[in-house]
Amino acid sequence: MGEERVERFGRAFEALRGEIQKVIVGHDDIVEQVLVCLFVGGHVLLEGVPGLGKTLLVKTLSGCLDLSFSRIQFTPDLMPADIIGTNIIVEDAEGRRHFQFQRGPIFAHIVLADEVNRATPKTQSALLEAMQEGNVTVSGTAYRVPVPFFVLATQNPIEMEGTYPLPEAQLDRFLFKLRVRYPALEELNEIIERTTRAEEPTVGHALPGDQVSGFKELVREVPIASHVRELASTIVTATHPQWPQAPEVTRRYIRYGASPRAAQALVLGGKVLALRAGRFNVSAEDLKAITLPALRHRIILNFEGEAEGIDVDQLILQVVEAAEVEARRGKEVFFR
Amino acid sequence: MRSEEAIRAAVQRVGRIVRVRRAALYGLRGLAWGLTTGLIPLLGKAGLGPAALPAALALAAVGGMAGIVYGLLLPVPLREPARLVDRTFRLDDRLATAVEHLGQVPRGPLVEALIEDAADRVRDRDLGATVPWRWPREVRILPASALALWVLVLLPPVRFPEGVFPSLTPSGEQEAERQAQSVPVAQDRRLARARETAPRVEVQERDYLRRRGTGRETQQGDLSAIFRDTNIAQRRPDFSSFLKHGDDRLKILGQVESLPDLQRDFTQSQFRVAFRRAKRLLAGIRPDQVSPEKLRELLDEMRRLGRRGGGEEWGQDVWEGSEALADGRMQRALEAMERALSRMRAMEERSGKGLEGGRDRGRGQGRNPGMRGGEGEDFGEYEGSLPGKGTNPDWRGAPSTRLAQDPLDSAVEGQPRRGRRDAFDTNLLGKGSRNPSHLPYMSVYAQYRKMMEEALTKETIPLDYRTQVKEYFRALEER
């Protein structure tokens, strides 16, 4: 029974990925990590310069799933009520007036928050409650957002004039932060070939929306060994400069390390990767495969790190290497 | 159930192999140290006799056995062999996870599937290859220890030196003879020391005579400087006079008020600064060899000092010197400079202390406490809050009179303000002193306005203050 469910998960995962790749050329790792977030039930922050297909990826994903989709273009004058909705006065058949809640675009299964750093922090924070709690409170009344609820936010890293960088508290609520990079030469050729023809590629429903919730439950059932769990904890703890065993790079360049949500993201993401590989357990390699997207937005560099232009990704790789050594220390089967 | 048993059997088998390999490892370690320790009885073979060799061998055997026992007794948790198997056969932690979940009740379908999967993967594997042989570091000393043991067995007993050590202390006769020889030497030394003492007095006197009346700079630790400006500075130390009348220096030390202020910074006296520079300029060269550039710098420096205070007295001389220098009349320029120096000195002597200027100018005297706003006022440390700060209701401040006098003045020259400040005073000399910093007035305004706008949009500023800041910039715009 378990094998059958895992096989079904693997088939659904591959079907979704195949369908998305009909439209999106390259970015295999980005597509895979977006799907990991979908099945974990987390939210994704996509960062990249304009024109790399971030919005197209999200729209294609919504097209592949039989789920409602809404897009919110964030601008400086966008107000929280524009996202979550507002109470309006309506008149019933008997002429009596009363307030009725008009739902905003956040009440959709898949929400694309385009250029999320263009809105003011007040508006950005309107997403917080929905992302973390799964409901929206207006005038003291809580409204549940539909399940599954998947927020994909995009932001542009270079055009910082007139932007409001997301606060750390809100960044932490994103399961992964994915960096969309420029396509390779062959991929660019393929993009031109696909997008300049008369007929545009179309996608079909690869997965019924209600199955996504079922797969989320399956993901949480995947067993994990204690030493793999300890590795996740050690990786996250090794990003904290206050930890006595913290590696040198951490003490030198990091001001604040990752939160416990990072460890949750590592383990849950690892579980999805295990299922996708047809495995019934999480391996250390699964964790290491997703350390970059799970940690890069949760680490805050100190002045020295900023001044020296330290790449957070390179820093994380060094921290993971050191954490592996630390996790293995004292557990060698021969010498104690 | 069969899968579970297969996993347990595999893990236990690997655990046994681990024990054996550990026993071998620690046994080799113990043997190496036992052999090394066994060399000691062989070295004392002469004393121990035929029991030395059995003792050495027994030590080696005990070391090896202790190592083996220790290796066998070390615990082997089940998950450790499982991780070894995972690593050896690249099972992606399947076996370790399955072993940990064997005792879980109830097991979920995924755990069941995992156990089945792990059991399938460890069946028919050569588990012996899982645990590699490891050689301890001590293996390197093992051959050397064995060789040394063998050599010591074959060699005759090592004889250590016997008897008492030779006496190194001299006998009584030798000691007496040495003392007898050393007496004249000591006497010679005393005579030599007495001969050395006489000229030292002369040297000290010469030093003192050279010091007096020179008015040289005070050196750190030079206590005679206390009496430099008194009439006893000229006197030589006279011991018989001291016995009769006591020392005048001690009396002066009792009158604290009459002593010169040694703590005063030498550079506070602007005359001395100028004098020192002039002396350095003219030292050892004829007037016709003075560099015009250096002389111009000195005159500029004196003019700058004049701007800070007292310039009305020597300013004319400095101006004449500059004019003469511009005309190429070096001798006239030098004379004018010397006249200016004389006037500076006279002014300093009149004031009784250093020329006033810098941040000390007018401090504590000639203050007008009612004066507020405008150029030239003293926003001293204790003179109330500045406009726009604290409880001062006059948040706009007074307009700059300088700008009112010259509406075309678009470049504002930096001016130091009196009172407490965060910067350091620098006694700037040289060409840089002729180029005060300028900043276009409108540029300053634009910069500050931009900073204001950024601060208002991006920082948390109370609403009341927002209005105040906006009003301030609007008022500036009107002007």
Choose the closest CB to A281 out of B76, B80, B114: B114
Q: What residues of chain B lie within 8 A of the CB of A282, using their CB?
A: 93, 97
Clarify whether residues B70 and B46 are in a common domain.
yes
pLDDT per residue as tens, chain B (479 positions): 688 888 988 998 888 888 888 899 999 999 999 999 988 888 887 777 788 888 889 999 999 999 999 988 888 888 888 888 888 888 889 999 999 888 888 888 899 899 989 999 888 788 877 887 888 888 888 888 889 888 888 888 777 666 556 556 556 666 666 666 655 555 555 655 555 544 443 333 333 334 444 444 545 555 555 555 556 656 666 666 666 666 666 665 555 544 444 444 445 566 777 777 777 776 655 666 777 888 888 888 888 777 766 667 778 888 888 888 888 888 888 888 888 888 877 777 676 544 433 333 434 343 444 344 333 344 444 444 455 555 555 555 555 565 556 555 556 666 655 555 544 445 455 555 566 666 666 667 777 777 877 777 777 777 767 777 777 777 776 65
Answer yes or no: do B245 and B285 share one domain.
no
Q: Name which of A225, A333, A334 is nearest B100 (Cβ-Cβ).
A: A225
Q: Does the residue B65 lie in any domain?
A: yes
A224 CB neighbours in chain B (<8 A) are 97
Q: Do B437 and B470 share a structural domain?
A: yes
Report yes or no on B332 lying in a domain: yes
Mutate to test the interface with A, among B97, B99, B101, B450 (most CBs of A within 10 A): B97
Number of domains chain B contains: 4
Q: Which residues of B touch A223 (CB under 8 A)?
A: 97, 100-101, 108, 110-111, 114
- Cα–Cα distance, B436 to B423 (Å, whole number): 16
Structure tokens that stand for B115 in this block: 């156990």
Question: Nearest Cβ partner of A333 from B80, B109, B112?
Answer: B80
Is B10 found in the same domain as B147?
yes
Among the partner residues A6, A223, A336, nearest to B97 by beta-carbon distance: A223
B318 shares its domain with B272: yes
Are B335 and B280 in the same domain? yes
Is residue B115 assigned to a domain? yes
**Does some domain include residue B177?**
no
Domains in chain A, start-ordered, CATH in brackets? 2-77+104-197+207-212 (3.40.50.300), 222-328 (1.10.8.80)
- For residue B368, tell me if it sits in a domain: no
Q: Distance, in angstroms, between B113 CA and closest chain A CA?
A: 6
Same domain? B304 vs B352: yes
Do B255 and B270 fall into the same domain?
no
On whether both B234 and B275 belong to a single domain, the answer is no
Residue of A nearest to B22 (CA): A334
Half-sphere exposure of B475 (CA within 13 A, CB side): 13
Is B467 inside any structural domain? yes
For residues B334 and B277, membership in a common domain is answered with yes
Would you say residue B192 lies in a domain?
no
- Whether residue B7 is found in the same domain as residue B144: yes
Both B130 and B8 in one domain: the answer is: yes
- Chain B residues within an 8 Å CB radius of A279: 92, 94, 117
What domain range includes position B254?
226-263
HSE, side-chain direction, 13 A CA sphere, residue B100: 17
B370 domain residue, yes or no? no
Q: Say if residues A244 and A278 touch (Cβ distance below 8 Å).
A: no
